[in-house]
Amino acid sequence: MYTRTGEIKPEPQGLAKADGTATTSHEEQAEELLAKFFPPLPDNIKDEGSRQQRAPVMMPDLTLGGVERQLWATKSWKAPGEDGLPAIVWKQVWPSVKHDVLAIFQESVVAERISHTVGTYGLLPTNHFGARKQRSAEQTLVLLQEHIFSAWRARHVVSLMSFGVKWAYNGVCKERLLQRMKARRIPESLLRWIDAFCSERTATIVINGQSSESRSLPQAGLPQGSPLSLIPCLFFNTDLVQTQIDRNGGAIAFVDDYTAWVSGPTAQSNRRGVQAIINKALDREKRSGATFEAEKTAIIHFTRYTGRMDSEPFTIKGERVFPKDQVMILGVVRDSRRHYKQHIAKALFIAMVVPVVDYASNVWMHACKTASAYAIHRVQRIGAQAIIGSFTNVATGVAEAEAHIATIQERFWRRASKLWVDIHTLPRTNPVRNLLRGIKAFRRFISPLRRIADVCRQLPKDTMEVIQPFTLAPWEARLQAILNSQGEEEENKIKELAKAGWAVRIATSSSARNDLVGMGGTIRIPISVARAGKISETFSVTLGTREEHNPDTAELAAIAHGLGCLPEIRYRVIVILTSNRSAAQPIGNPRQQSGQGHIREIYDAVEKLRGNGNRVNIIWLSSNSELNIQKTAKMSARHATEPYITPQKGAAKAKTTILSRTRADLRSERKLPEGVGRHSRKVDSALPGKHTCLLYDQLSWKEASVLAQLRTGMARLNGYLYQIRAAPTDECPCRRAKETVEHFLFRCVKWTTQRKE
């Protein structure tokens, strides 16, 4: 085998047995690997002791509707089953093979149910992140970073410990897992499911293309790769994180990665707190069967003053662990002074691509100053060279403008603005949301989140909508919209239902004009159920400005408002008519999106109506339909956006609209840096802009390279080649003038014929 330098390395040694002898066959190798991957649990696992038992959370039985949602949510070319068939195959044959699909996707259904229960009933500590919606790694890093900066402002040193668990999934003790899940209100039916999930597992080892026989596993733990493994892993590790975060310290976890810290005047004064963290982790190890590896345990003291550092080691399981200058937490290398130089270098070394370089940029972009930014700007230039073939020594700003790629700052601030908006839409139970209360105009140790707050200070804060992890419980029936694109016969039936005078009909509409967004609608009630003889009602509401709202959320608000205006009716058919397809479809598949609150209101109203024996249908009809009720609804919506109308107060601002406006502002502010690209400004005064895509996209790479050279002035012409000492003279071969881009294009006599052609 060769390394990158071409050096020949010796063949790798064969797999050794536990006694040191070499394996001689694939069967022996398979046995050794199984013993290594699935180690037995410790012989003596201490008893957990008595735990407070609370009433379990009740859940309905699994339904085919939940299985179907998981099927359609799976990527089409992902193969979740042992047969290797992609999900697109099961989508095509559904629902004729319900049993087979249930066997493949039931783990996803159970995982979704447990995740919803955890978020709704608060079964896990708020500082335990991962494996759930709105609990990302970036939020974990931001939370930790803000507490470090808060301690610095109090002139404290933060001593942090990061623990590594050996075989975090395979080493899970099933009995302890079930005991802890039961103590946290998981119902008995799901406990039996988890018990079966962790029992009677088998494994097959593939060595050099040869598969071993299937072997039973006496200690399987949690199977990695299953969508159900992550949620139980949270319950297994959550006792460590059951602590309050305050000025003296705290703890966070991301799935199985556990990090704890203490804060004090000096690193030496923190030793007692650090030792208490070590003792707590080791005690938990004895009670759970999980094993902490000393070589994977890292200790670091965060301070800006070297006089407060302490290099004295700690003893963990008989091994001395010295404090380090840098540790890696969730993929980000953190140094004791939090300059992130090592993270920037490593990200570029791994791969010069945007997703890798930008990972967690909200945490470290403040440290990306001139020296560190040079390497990242080189990534930009290399990217531009790959796109349009420009020279690598073209100024970064010019190369970015010609290739029409986002600048470093634009990318960073796009992510930062999204983080800022996302934080304001988090529910109050998320600890990252509570960081906003502590952000003040500090002069010392300004945290990255504080810098983001300064840039995004114009965005609305308290009036932004709140996005919940789940709009509906996984077992709630969905209300599917009926679309008039299902064949001529079906379309006629839909139109007949929309025109039915015996049905209660609600038509809604939204309008966006005059820099306002409004909603309107009309309600037609049959005479037999009309209230006080009134068979028609209209409503019109101005939600706010176009910078804070959008027609889609306005349409959802109109549907919720119309349902709320209905009188007490029983055993009727209620038809909701809308011409906004973008609003009708999310009602049947709600997610973490703008208008989520209105969707929840719609379902609450529909549930109440169905409880009285009513049937509710949502029908989408195009805006070109000739129904008078839709025209009336449109007129009501347009009335809400007249110039003289004052918007109502208190309406929650739409997250997507706020975010889109912020990103548009970032794009509008983009321009070439001062003193850069004088030649490019002369050639194209509209730089930067989308028009460069039209110039380059229709050309081959060689043609694009020639055009880029001419537009940037750095071309294979003697005028430029002489500047970089690649040509003996700057004279044109025609010997009449210096060979520049202007001379080459307009005056050189060697190209007169080509110009005429």
Domain-embedded: residue 189: no
pLDDT at position 638 is 94
Average pLDDT over residues 383-406: 81
- Supply the CATH number for residue 270's domain: 3.30.70
pLDDT at position 271 is 93
Residue for token digits 């091994």? 319
The 10 Å Cβ neighbour count of residue 215 is 15
Q: In the predicted model, is pLDDT for residue 11 greater than 80?
A: no
pLDDT at position 534 is 60
Of 215-229, 332-346, 569-583, 623-637, give the lowest mean pLDDT range. Answer: 332-346
Among 153-162, 355-364, 645-654, name the most confident range.
Answer: 153-162
CA contacts within 13 A on the Cβ side of 602: 30
Query: Which of 276, 304, 321 represents a domain boundary (last residue)?
Result: 321
Same domain? For 699 and 566 the reply is no
Same domain? For 269 and 167 the reply is yes
The per-residue pLDDT for range 486-526, each reduced to its tens digit, is: 667 777 777 788 888 888 999 999 999 999 999 999 999 88
pLDDT at position 368 is 62
Same domain? For 147 and 282 the reply is yes
pLDDT at position 369 is 60
Q: What is the mean pLDDT of the chain?
A: 83
Same domain? For 640 and 744 the reply is no
Same domain? For 585 and 508 the reply is yes
Query: Which of 321, 348, 368 represents a domain boundary (last residue)?
Result: 321
pLDDT at position 348 is 39
E strands, 44-192, in order: 128-129, 157-163, 165-166
Average pLDDT over residues 347-354: 40
Same domain? For 594 and 718 the reply is no
573 token code pair = 């058919």
Domain-embedded: residue 29: no
Q: In the predicted model, is pLDDT for residue 640 greater than 80?
A: yes
Average pLDDT over residues 730-744: 89
Residue 269 structural domain: 128-171+230-321
Domain-embedded: residue 563: yes
Same domain? For 613 and 527 the reply is yes
Phi, psi for 119 (deg, rounded to 5): -70, -35
How wide is the angle at C-alpha 392 spanned by C-alphas 386 and 396, nearest 5°? Answer: 95
At residue 373 the predicted structure's pLDDT band, cuts being 50, 70 and 90, is low
Residue for token digits 């559904």? 94
Domain-embedded: residue 448: no
Same domain? For 702 and 589 the reply is no
One DSSP character per residue, 628-640 reads HHHHHHHHHHHHT
The per-residue pLDDT for range 589-615, each reduced to its tens digit, is: 898 899 999 999 999 999 999 999 999
The per-residue pLDDT for range 580-592, each reduced to its tens digit, is: 999 999 999 898 8
- 323 within 8 A of 301, measured Cβ to Cβ: yes
Q: In the predicted model, is pLDDT for residue 350 greater than 60?
A: no
Average pLDDT over residues 532-538: 71
Please tell me the total count of domains within the chain. Answer: 3
Dihedral over alpha carbons 347, 352, 353, 354 (to 10 degrees) = 60
Domain-embedded: residue 106: no
Residue for token digits 């050996």? 166
Q: In the predicted model, is pLDDT for residue 250 greater than 70?
A: yes
The per-residue pLDDT for range 433-471, each reduced to its tens digit, is: 888 877 776 777 888 888 888 877 777 777 889 999 999
Q: In the predicted model, is pLDDT for residue 718 greater than 80?
A: yes
Same domain? For 301 and 234 the reply is yes
The per-residue pLDDT for range 298-329, each reduced to its tens digit, is: 999 998 887 788 889 998 888 899 998 888 88
At residue 664 the predicted structure's pLDDT band, cuts being 50, 70 and 90, is confident
Sign of the four-CA dihedral 34, 36, 40, 41: negative
At residue 116 the predicted structure's pLDDT band, cuts being 50, 70 and 90, is very high
Domain-embedded: residue 604: yes
The per-residue pLDDT for range 136-195, each reduced to its tens digit, is: 988 998 999 999 999 998 999 999 999 887 778 888 999 999 999 999 999 999 999 999
Q: Are strands 516-524 and 536-545 parallel, antiparallel or unpaired?
A: antiparallel
- 155 within 8 A of 265, measured Cβ to Cβ: yes
pLDDT at position 370 is 54
Average pLDDT over residues 35-45: 82
Q: In the predicted model, is pLDDT for residue 557 greater than 90?
A: yes
- Supply the CATH number for residue 590's domain: 3.30.420.10
Domain-embedded: residue 696: yes
Domain-embedded: residue 107: no
Same domain? For 602 and 707 the reply is no
Same domain? For 139 and 260 the reply is yes
Residue for token digits 């259904």? 109
Same domain? For 567 and 616 the reply is yes
Average pLDDT over residues 1-23: 53
